[in-house]
Amino acid sequence: MNTLTPGRAPADASADHVTITPSILYFGTPVVLLSTENEDGSFNLAPMSSAWALGQVIVLGVGVEGQTAHNLRSRPELVINLPAPTQWPAVEQLAPLTGRDPVPVHKRGGFRFERDKFAAAGLRPEPSELVRPPRVAECPLQLEARAARVQPDVSGGFLIVEAHVLKVHADPRIVVTGTQHVDPAMWSPLIYNFRHYYGLGPELGHSFRSQTPAEAT
């Protein structure tokens, strides 16, 4: 029987697999906090972990009945805030909250309505420059964006949002000095791994396309 050290594949990675049916497939993706504008001009803040980048477009998957989805259908401006691993308690404070009132049926019993989610999570809103929703001041990376396309996924339970990034704000401590590059040795996203929170481990190597190894060492 092959043994498996966490984070490493066994010597024979094809051996000893079993067929499973996981309830979720969050196999290690970054957590983001999405700030959007409510109908009354106040702002919603929601955690999610279905996000990935295509150039200057961030593709997001959000629940179809949540306040974020409701907002983005008619008010496409948003901020994609990326917290650091140490900020997971604030993310978890947001997890059982919803900006919908009344609480959607599928969330009743486990969620409660909260109007001021920034305060509930102990986070500070910071004015954006190009969009109305605020940034999360404590997050090391903040992406002002506008939803260019919002459409249902094949299951009908989620919205697929294609958000065009307009401006990126970064904590200077995670930027390679004198460049436009985020330093991967200094920046670690908060990772949502099968509903558990993790940070990154030590660097294993870099892609031949990387522009930062020489500057970051």
pLDDT confidence bin for 107, thresholds 50/70/90: confident
Return the percentage of the chain with pLDDT > 70, whole number.
Answer: 89
As beta bridge partners, residue 52 has 59
> Of 68, 3, 65, nearest to 37 (Cα)?
68
Among 42, 27, 216, CA closest to 115: 42
pLDDT tens, residue by residue, 45-87:
999 999 999 999 999 999 998 999 999 999 999 999 999 999 9
More confident residue, 110 or 116: 116
pTM value is 0.88
Q: What angle do CA 199, 147, 74 make, to 5 degrees?
A: 125
Q: Kindly tell me the burial class for residue 132, based on how many C-beta atoms sit within 10 Å of its own C-beta (0-12, 13-18, 19 or more).
A: middle
CA distances from 8 to 5, 13, 113, 167 (A): 5, 10, 41, 36
In this predicted structure, what is the pLDDT of residue 121?
97
pLDDT at 199: 94
